[in-house]
Structure formats: C-alpha cells, structure tokens
Structure 1
Amino acid sequence: MAKSDDTEIEMRVNEIVSLIIQGEPKRNIVQGCSQKWNVSERQIYTYYSRANEYFKECAKLDRDTELGKAYNQYVDLYKMAKDKKDYNGARQILKDLLETFGYKVNRTELTGKDGTPLIKQVIKFGDKEIEF
C-alpha cells in the first residue's frame, strides 16, 4: 500500500467526522472505511482519533465571540422578520435574544377593578426587575 498524502488523509478524516456526526457506529466506520480505502483497521483508528481531536477543538469556544455571533444572527433574523412584516416573529426573536443574554421577559395577566385584563410585563436585568 502506498502512503497517503496529507490532502488524502484530511479528506478521509473529514469523511469520518461526517460519519460520526451522522451517528454511524464506530465499528461500522472502521470496517467500512478500511475496505473502502484499502487500509488497515489500525490506520482507520488513527484517522478516527484525529476526528475526535477535531471535535475537541470545536468545543473550545470563546464565550464573548459566540455571544457576539449569536447577537448578530438574531439582529439579522429580526431585520428579515420586520422586512416581511412578520411582527409576531420579530417579537419572538427579540424575546429569544433577551433570554440568550440572560434577560427574562415574564407576562402575567391581571384584572383591573372592572374585571378587564391588565397586562403586566416584567423584564429582569440580572437582579433588577422593571415592570410596565
């Protein structure tokens, strides 16, 4: 068997990453890829280990970066909803955005003296609550 070049190895590791993501059992991956690429099962275990290293790297997230991305994704979704005049969707997106950043919107229905419902909205900012 000829030695694989770096590009081919990377393609094989990426394929194993995809199979793992799809939920394929490890044994099936090892046997199937060994036959497909005509390499030893031991070599497939090496590729499998590299795929696991990829997953470990993916898990190393920078909280501020990820929150920044999430914020901008919510802003884009909000703009799209408003452009389509989907105001319920826009409202839900804003609510989800607030919850993502730790702000909770609670709605409580109260009734006034005349029995008609009053809406009280509470927004929590950390330890503080704002009612309106």
Structure 2
Amino acid sequence: MGKKKSSNLELEKRLRVVQEWLMQGYDTPDIVRQITTKWEVTERQAYKYIEKAFEEFKARSERRMEFLRAYHTSTRKKLFRDLAAKNTPEGAKAALSILQDIAKLDGLYVEKVSHHITDIPHNEDHRVLFEDFKEGKEG
C-alpha cells in the first residue's frame, strides 16, 4: 500500500523549505538527501520538489517583472501628462524622451549589441591553422 499524499498546505511548506535550502546554496544531492530523510519520500519525489521550487522562483520573478514594468510605464505616462511645456522645444524633447522610454519598456526597441573583437589578432591564428592544413598536418 502506498504512502498518503501530502496536503496542499504541507506541500507548500515543503517547497518553502526546499527554496530556503536552494537560496542557502546547498548542493542538489545534499538537498535530495535531506528531503528523503526528513519527509520519507523517494528520491524521484525529492527531485520533483526541487523542480517545483525552481518553477515557483521563476513564476514569482515573472510576476515581479510584470508589476515593475506596469509601475514604471504608469509613472512615465503621468510624467508625460503632467509635462507643462510640451509646446516648447525643450518640452517636446522631454516628451519624446518619455515616449521613447515607454516604448523601450514595452519592448518596441531592440538593443544593439556589438560583436566586434578588436583586441585579439585573429588573422594570425587563422593563417597558422591554414598553413598547418596545407602541409598535411592534422591536429
């Protein structure tokens, strides 16, 4: 006969304990050993607890990011509404800056990333490899 399943409340408590262990930096094998000993569950169930703990971290992080994005967008919209001098050059520049910032928060602009490597003399490395290949040298 199988063991009784944990209640939802007990499961939440266990996941919080596992999250605490993860945040304290314990290694996965140590956490698995603690789970199986403390709650008398299988190793497979212990790994499921760890997986669920990570999923909860991710969900909490995503909810926080959504909140922060909404908060910052709202504050910028208020700044835009309250901007008194929209008809002056300085006011128009400030208004445009606020609107661009809102667009960035909404993901409408893609950040440019430079992929140039200038510190490494890579041409010499390639020449050596090609010369080795021409001479029939392998590896």
**TM bucket by the smaller chain?**
0.3 to 0.5
Where relative contact order (Cα < 8 A, 6+ residues apart) is larger, the structure is 2
TM-score (norm 2): 0.45
User: Could you say which structure has the larger radius of gyration?
Assistant: 2
Counting strand residues as a fraction of each chain, which structure ranks higher?
1
Length-normalised TM-score, structure 1: 0.47
- Which structure has the highest helix share of the two? 2
